[in-house]
Structures are given as C-alpha cells and as structure tokens.
Amino acid sequence: MKYLTFSYDDGVTQDIRLVELFNKYGMKCTFNINSGLLGKDGYLDINGVRVNHIKVKPEDVRYIYDGHEVAGHGLTHPCLARLTDEKIIEEVEVDRVRLSELCGYDVVGFAYPGGDYDRRVSQLIKNKTGIKYCRTVTSTHDFVPQDYLHEFNPTVYHHKEWDKLFELGDKFLSLKTDTPSVFYVWGHAYEFDIHNSWDRFEEFLKMMSKAKDIEFVTNKEALLDRR
Ligand SMILES: [Zn+2]
C-alpha cells in the first residue's frame, strides 16, 4: 500500500549515474525525455554554476533506461499552454510514438515541460493522445491518492526542498495506511552536479531502502497499475 517513485526530466547524460544509484538500492524511476532533442550538446548556468546539459543519444535510450520507465516530455520541450490544439497533440503524441519505438514498449507517461500547462492542455492530452498520466511541478508534501491523473502533482522536488525530502521520508517510513499512498519525488539529474549533492541523495535512497513495507516502483506502476 506504500509506493515510492521517482521522476527525472530532460534525458541528460547524468541520468546514467542516477540509474546506477537507483539500481544499487533496488529502486525504480521514470525518466521524462524529449525525443526531438536526443543527442544534442549543451550546458546550463544555474546559480553561477555551469553544468552539462547533454542529451543521451537515441540509440542508447533503450539500454540506459533498461529496468526503469521512459515517459514523454514533448518533442522539443515546448511551453504547451502557448500552443494551438493541433501543435500540442503533435508535440505530445509524435514524441510518445517515437519513444515507444525506441524503448520497445508503449510509453504512457508524460511530464509537462517547464511545468507549463492549463486545463485545455491536460484535457487535450487526455482525450487525443495515448498518454495516461501527466506530472506537474506543484509539490503536495503529502502521499494522498489523486483522481485527475492528467494533472498529477508530485510530493516533493528534491533540489529546492532538501530538508522537506528527508522530513517527508521519515514521515513515509512511519506511515501506517490501508489506502494506496504514493511518495513521489522529482527533479533533474544535472541538479546533483550543482553543489555536488549526489551523496546527499544517496543518503536518502539508503534511508528509504531499509523499509520493508514500501514498494519501489515506476510512475506507471504507482499511478496506473497499483491503484
Ligand atoms: Zn524539462
């Protein structure tokens, strides 16, 4: 009844290290990637720190994310609320089909690029594409099940809310529940390169991995399969 799941965006090369970390602790993650940007080089300047923002190559997607879930993030990482209906469907559905081909299974998840969406966008995706759930960037700080999966709010954003991450971790470990409860953590793997917080994140995984009553699952398993 208790599920821990992770969601990491943009399909960057730091995902390779993150996958190794999840595998070490028997945990599963969903990676939201942009099929139209795969293989592109780049960097980001965040708080005065320059980090690589290099996208994984299309031919590597299947083996890098093996054992985890790949989900959509738009063909080109667009701000969807600014686009026409037609363009939204194209960005989401063409991306979904391409990713499904690369992975060899039906991709059904999605994360809003830049957290940008409105009710028109989520309804279009729900009614006109094969996407079954969409993640927003609004933290709930709770584990309560949600009904409208095309605007699914995560529990916590690790990078900006480190203290909250550990506080909620403690709370989830001691939670006794008869209803499905989901602890949903999201972020970007390149954020671990800023202030080198890889070890801090590993501490969190180690802490959660000791629980006997928590299942470690992908987003799809947490939101669609285990309800
Ligand atoms: Zn993104």
Q: Closest Cα partner for 58 from 23, 112, 28, 95?
A: 95
Domain range for residue 79?
2-225
| 114 Cα: distance to centroid of ligand 1 (angstroms) | 5
pLDDT of residue 46: 87
| 217 Cα: distance to centroid of ligand 1 (angstroms) | 21
| 112 Cα: distance to centroid of ligand 1 (angstroms) | 7
Give the separation between CA 24 and CA 21, rounded to whole angstroms. Answer: 5
pLDDT of residue 78: 95
Low-confidence ranges of the chain (pLDDT < 50): none
Total domain count for the chain? 1
Predicted confidence (pLDDT) per residue in 96-147, tens digit: 999 999 999 999 999 999 999 999 999 999 999 999 999 999 999 999 989 9
| 81 Cα: distance to centroid of ligand 1 (angstroms) | 15
| 211 Cα: distance to centroid of ligand 1 (angstroms) | 31
- What CATH number corresponds to the domain at position 18? 3.20.20.370
Asked whether the beta carbons of 20 and 201 are under 8 A apart, the reply is no
3-state secondary structure of 139: coil
| Helix residue spans in the chain (DSSP H) | 15-24, 61-64, 85-103, 119-128, 162-174, 198-209, 219-220
- Burial of residue 183 (CB within 10 Å: 0-12, 13-18, 19+) is buried
**CA 160: distance to chain centroid?**
16
pLDDT of residue 81: 97
| 105 Cα: distance to centroid of ligand 1 (angstroms) | 22
| 195 Cα: distance to centroid of ligand 1 (angstroms) | 20
pLDDT of residue 227: 66
Q: At what angle do helices 15-24 and 198-209 cross, to 10 degrees?
A: 30
pTM for this prediction = 0.97
| 113 Cα: distance to centroid of ligand 1 (angstroms) | 5
| 77 Cα: distance to centroid of ligand 1 (angstroms) | 6
pLDDT of residue 174: 97
pLDDT of residue 64: 98
| 212 Cα: distance to centroid of ligand 1 (angstroms) | 33
Predicted confidence (pLDDT) per residue in 67-77, tens digit: 999 999 999 99
